[in-house]
Amino acid sequence: MTLIIREAVPADIAAIHGFILALADYEKLAHEVKADRATLEKYLFGPRPMAEVLIAEREEGPIGFALFFHNFSTFEGRPGLYLEDLFVVPEARGSGAGKALLRRLAQIALDRDCARLEWWVLDWNAPSIAFYRSIGARPMDEWTVQRVDGDALRALAA
């Protein structure tokens, strides 16, 4: 079966939302999902898109996605791509869809003169970590992620 990697269009919102819910369930974080179709449509396809999505598709329809956006490295003086989410449905894992999505992201990064492509992975997700190592990704163990959200974000902004 032919695998196609394509840019998402507004008609893909239901599939994108479904992939986000499935990923959250896999990561045991379904209780944290606040995104709905209307919000996704606004921020992915509205007047000022905040992120982009690639769809992995076979004849039967979408089987995975990658949601990404630009960041910027002050040290490099160049943009980068940040991969927020990569997900392939369980029945299509091992088919090359995940690697094809990452390959397309690497091509986009190079086409846009990005210095790097980066993402996070949960510590317990051994299959994904092994996959990422197999394509040459390396951990950034010396860095610790920091986050301000919810009430703390509102308090900081006040």
Q: Residue 27 belongs to a domain with what CATH number?
A: 3.40.630.30
Joined together, the tokens standing for residue 8 give 């998402």
Domains identified in the chain, total number: 1
| Single pTM value for the model | 0.93
| pLDDT value of position 49 | 97
Report the C-alpha gap between 143 and 139 in whole angstroms.
9
Q: Is 138 exposed, middle or buried (0-12, 13-18, 19+ CB in 10 A)?
A: exposed
User: Each residue's pLDDT tens digit in the chain (158 positions)?
Assistant: 799 999 999 999 999 999 999 999 999 999 999 999 999 999 999 999 999 999 999 999 999 999 999 999 999 999 999 999 999 999 999 899 999 999 999 999 999 999 999 999 999 999 999 999 999 999 998 998 899 999 999 999 99
| pLDDT value of position 1 | 74
Active-site residues, by number, are 132
- Helix (H) and strand (E) counts for the chain? 5, 5
Report the C-alpha gap between 131 and 58 in whole angstroms.
21
Residues 6+ apart with CB under 8 A from 106: 117
What DSSP designation does 120 have? Answer: -
Expressed as residue numbers, the domain containing 114 is: 4-157
| pLDDT value of position 70 | 98
